[in-house]
Amino acid sequence: MRMPLIAGNWKMNGSLSLVEEFGRAFAGVSLPVNVEVALMVPFPYLGVAGQALGETAVTVGAQTLSDRPAGAFTGEVSGAMLRECGARLVLVGHSERRALFGEDDAAVLARVQAALHEGLTPVLCVGETLEEREAGRTEAVVLGQLEAVFEALDTAERSRLIVAYEPVWAIGTGRTATPEQAQAVHAALRERLARYDETLADGMRLLYGGSMKADNAAELLAQPDIDGGLVGGASLKVDDFLAICQSAG
Ligand code: PEP
């Protein structure tokens, strides 16, 4: 039985007052007991988010990390620092990191390994561009990104990951994959994971991300291989995010 996870990705958005607002809102509601909720906030807000959400069921996470443990890497943030500041999860390989910051599969793998080393849960993001989808390459791209990481890990390490399928053409565009499109890719991901290990595939949480909103979350989350959502824009509005969390229960 896979516990659904709804993870908000604030990207480079938000403010201290928004963190406080989320803290108050989540303290005042009861979330479905069978749903896990996480909020991936910008680095400077991690500590405050940990305090504001500390009395709630929401886990705090980060959006990236360095692949190095420490040293002369100006501007970088290590996994150990994230952990010390309260993060428990970290996004790795988000399409914005891949496209805008040149993170290739090797860089993504190094960050997954750094996160695992520090006891963080990596949320590995995979997804195809519109051009790749239209060229019929969706599965090849997505499974390639998955394998670039999973091939290098052992069974125990693999079981500590969460995977998020995020079609690049659906991120921040308002254009959501249909439930059938998303389910087809999730099923292909799970089938590929089963080649490593059936138990791993059965237990692995596969999140969908890409313009998930309060009004389309339920039908996406009802798909058999969709185990939660990675939510960008809609995670910045507390009512919308809460509604998505409720619809996962
Ligand atoms: C994301 O950035 O991970 C994302 C899914 O964004 P949005 O929900 O805004 O498409």
Is 166 a residue of the active site?
Answer: yes
Using pLDDT thresholds of 50, 70 and 90, give the confidence band for residue 196: very high
Strands (E), 34-155: 36-40, 58-62, 89-92, 121-126
- 37 close to 239: Cβ distance less than 8 angstroms: no
- Asked whether the predicted pLDDT for residue 34 surpasses 90, the reply is yes
State both tokens at 106: 């090797």
- Asked whether the predicted pLDDT for residue 124 surpasses 90, the reply is yes
* Cα 72 to ligand 1 centroid, rounded to whole Å: 32
Burial 74-97 (b: 16+ CB within 10 A, else e): eeebbbbbbbebbbebbbbbbbbb
Between CA 192 and CA 186 the distance in angstroms is 10
Tell me the HSE value of 139 on the side-chain side, using a 13 A CA sphere: 12
- Helix (H) / strand (E) element for 208: namely strand 206-209
Mutate to test the pocket of ligand 1, among 166, 173, 236 (most ligand atoms within 8 A of CB): 166
* Cα 28 to ligand 1 centroid, rounded to whole Å: 26
Which amino acid residue places its CA nearest to atom 3 of ligand 1? Answer: 232
Catalytic residue among 96, 118, 128, 166: 166
ipTM over 0.85: yes
Mutate to test the pocket of ligand 1, among 9, 90, 125, 237 (most ligand atoms within 8 A of CB): 9
Between CA 121 and CA 88 the distance in angstroms is 6
Instruction: Please name every residue paired with 206 in a beta bridge, in sequence order, or none if there are none.
Output: 163
State both tokens at 67: 């692949």
- Asked whether the predicted pLDDT for residue 174 surpasses 90, the reply is no
Mean pLDDT of 165-177: 93
Specify the CATH superfamily of domain 5-247. Answer: Aldolase class I (3.20.20.70)
Q: What was the pLDDT predicted at 25?
A: 96
Backbone angles phi, psi at 55, to 5 degrees: -90, 0
Mean pLDDT of 18-46: 96
**Ligand 1 interacting residues, C-beta cut-off 6 A:** 9, 11, 166, 171-172, 209-212, 230-234
Between CA 154 and CA 1 the distance in angstroms is 23
Q: What is the mean pLDDT of the chain?
A: 97
Q: What was the pLDDT predicted at 29?
A: 93
Between CA 204 and CA 198 the distance in angstroms is 10
Q: What was the pLDDT predicted at 195?
A: 96
- Looking at residue 172, the DSSP 8-state letter turns out to be T
Which amino acid residue places its CA nearest to atom 4 of ligand 1? Answer: 232
Using pLDDT thresholds of 50, 70 and 90, give the confidence band for residue 150: very high
Percent of the chain with pLDDT over 90: 97
Which amino acid residue places its CA nearest to atom 8 of ligand 1? Answer: 232
36-85, pLDDT tens digit by residue?
999 999 999 999 999 999 989 999 999 999 999 999 999 999 999 999 99
Between CA 87 and CA 39 the distance in angstroms is 10
Burial class (CB in 10 A: 0-12, 13-18, 19+), 188: middle
Between CA 1 and CA 182 the distance in angstroms is 20
Domain boundaries, the chain: 5-247
Q: What was the pLDDT predicted at 142?
A: 98
